[in-house]
Amino acid sequence: MAWIRGFKPGLCFLLLLLFYPFSATPGDAHSLCYNFTVDSQPRPGQPWCVVQGQVDGKVFLSYDCGRAKIQFTSPLGEEVKTTKAWETQTETLRDIGDLLREQLPDVTSEKRTVTDPLTLQGRMTCRCEDDGHISGSWQFGFSGQMCLLFDSENGHWTEVHSGGRRMREKWEKDRAVTNFFKKVSMGDCRVWLQDFLVHWEEMLKTTASPAEAPLRVNSSAPAIRHITWILPVLLTGFIITVFLG
């Protein structure tokens, strides 16, 4: 009995470690994306640059870079248009559009003919993970074909299609462009996401639809919850059996 009384604190500590992982409740992950489309030869009356904003896959704005005109496509956009972050966001989006248009002639594929219409797409994403870590990235492509990836955290460029070779070679050597992409995705986008979520938190919960929600296998959810609940009990019984006889 003396051995058992002396071991109880250690046993309680083991049980605490056992139950802790199953009782922890992680936070919610959210992402903010901006899709840029820059047209090298826009038709008369058509914008040369259009930006679409998305939060957690839900479109909340469309922005015409040339005319500096915003169209709110959901209550999410209306909710944040009076925030301080919103004031700086439109200027930054226009700066990105201008940069992509300036870079377009130098990053075009060598095989493209002069008569070919060309559209440059860029997708900037900043994501807040469950643990609060925020990451940033870019994707670039031509006329619907993704060619290049940029990891804003480590500054690494990844060519995923031969059409992005000239783009990668030029931007890898241009520190100003690389730093700009990194600053916007890890700095500006991060501030926007944090500021907007204050206003969006309840709306994102109430406006989620089955089509927009992450894919889930509903039939297995009860079984998973049951296993999660019973596993600590079985392990606890095993520990008690081993140490208390």
Mean pLDDT of 11-17: 36
pLDDT for 182: 95
At residue 53, the pLDDT reads 95
Please give the residue that has the higher pLDDT: either 110 or 125: 125
Q: What pLDDT score was predicted for residue 151? A: 95
Distance CA(183)–CA(58), nearest Å, equals 24
Give me the pLDDT at residue 9, please: 41
**Domains defined along the chain, listed by start:** 2-26+225-244 (no CATH), 30-108+117-207 (3.30.500.10)
Mean residue pLDDT of the chain comes to: 75
- Tens digit of pLDDT for each residue in 83-102? 888 878 889 999 999 999 99
Would you place residue 157 in the very low, low, confident or very high pLDDT band (cuts 50, 70, 90)?
Answer: very high
Confidence category of residue 48, pLDDT binned at 50, 70, 90: very high
- C-alpha 146/C-alpha 45 separation (Å) is 27
What are the pLDDT digits (tens) for 141-151?
988 889 999 99
| Model confidence pLDDT, tens digit, residues 164-200 | 889 999 999 999 999 999 999 999 999 999 889 888 8
